[in-house]
Amino acid sequence: MLGALIAFAPMSIDMYLPSLPTIATEFGVAASAVQFTLSSFFIGLALGQAVHGPLADRYGRKPPLYAGLILYIAASVGCALALDIRSLTALRFVQAVGGCAGVVIARAIVRDRCDAHSSARVYSLLMLIMGLAPILAPFLGGWILSIAGWRAIFGTLALFGCAVLLGVWRFLPETRPANNASSAGISAALRGYGELLRDRRFLGYTLSGGFASAGMFAYITGSPQIFITLYGIPAQDYGWLFGLNALGLIAGSQYNRRLLLRHSADAILRRANRATVILGLVLIAVTVSGRGGLPGLLIPLFGYLVTLGFTGPNAVALALADQGMRAGSASALIGTLQFGIATLSSAMVGLLGSASALPMAAVIAGCGLLAYGAHRWLVDHDS
């Protein structure tokens, strides 16, 4: 059930990507207008998490989850029936606000039931879902598009939401301790977020994981232009290359589960952060020198994505380890901060230009350095 809740974001993002040109043609708008439906979803993910977290701490994990899933289902149906690009864009925002409840509350439920070490192993298992969804969703979306059209993709997402809602009601227990209810109200929520932002260890682990994952968003933004336009990879083969790198993320997260049987989450995170720095610098060196061609670029990229299988689960588990009373708010702030950083890294790649692979490489390397620095300056200096 937690895997299904985590899958809402990648399913909703990646499944409809093959239909973007079709939507632009049907509504008679430019491609950039349809791409903004994706940006609208990203904004909803970032803002919605900040709302669901305090609600989960105040009312328990399941009531806000029910509300979010119902909102997601309704918005998905609305997207399937949208009459113009403006309504589709607005409904995508609403869909994200509802769907991100699953991401926030899944992390909080793991924290309710597990200590930091066990949580890291569970998050590694959930990374399997996060890695498989970007591989499978575009293929499923393309198949639905060819058979029934783009509107059926959103109908499928609505059915997925209904199935998860039924599963939550039937199988998922309430995990927030009865005596852990937090204060209600906007002022209490803001006060709670302020306390979290002053917690050096929480902020250090959150930023360490956030900067590292932001490098992946830089890769997602820059890779289509680099692989297809600069290196001549056929567009139909790009998905296979993208999937190969996603398999690296899966492999890293599953090996992380085994390492946690013998090593602490913090020790693994430290080594993974060093690896991101090294791989980022190698990526810049390869890009500047031009040596190795496409294989020379792909090897450090693949290695960087593998390290995310170690940084992501361990950083989240360690950030939430001491947040029992406010696990929902802490989970929400992790998502908002990390997704905000990732959005900035994606924008940086676009602003720096697409004439070469250097902008993408530079942003990825910078993210690796900042991930290492956040852990070193905030966590190590607080110890």
CA dist., res. 346 & res. 138, Å (int)? 20
pTM: 0.76
Same fold, 1-172 and 193-383: yes
Q: In angstroms, rounded to a whole number, what is the distance separating the alpha carbons of residues 40 and 17?
A: 14
Position 268 scores a pLDDT of 93
Q: Look at residue 32 in the predicted model and tell me its pLDDT.
A: 67
CATH number of this structure's domain 193-383: 1.20.1250.20
Q: Is the Cβ–Cβ distance between 47 and 97 less than 8 Å? A: yes
Q: pLDDT by residue (tens digit) across 121-162? A: 787 777 777 777 767 777 788 788 888 888 999 999 999 999
In the prediction, which pLDDT does 81 show? 94
Predicted local distance difference test score (pLDDT) of residue 78: 95
369 burial level (CB within 10 Å; 0-12, 13-18, 19+): middle
Looking at residue 362, what is its pLDDT? 92
The residues spanned by each domain of the chain are 1-172, 193-383
Class of the domain covering 1-172? mainly alpha
Percent above pLDDT 90 for the chain: 28
The pLDDT of residue 43 is 82
Supply the pLDDT for residue 276: 94
The whole-number pLDDT of residue 16 equals: 81
What does the radius of gyration of the chain's CA atoms come to, in whole angstroms? 20
Q: Which pLDDT belongs to residue 161?
A: 94
C-alpha pair distances (Å), 205 with each of 5, 16, 162, 230, 373: 23, 33, 34, 36, 11
Residue 245, CB half-sphere, CA atoms under 13 Å: how many? Answer: 21
- Spatial contact of 56 and 168, defined as CB atoms under 8 Å apart: no
* pLDDT value, residue 110: 81
Residues with Cβ within 8 Å of 258's Cβ and at least 6 positions away in sequence, in order, are none
pLDDT the model gives residue 302: 92
Give pLDDT < 50 ranges for the chain: none
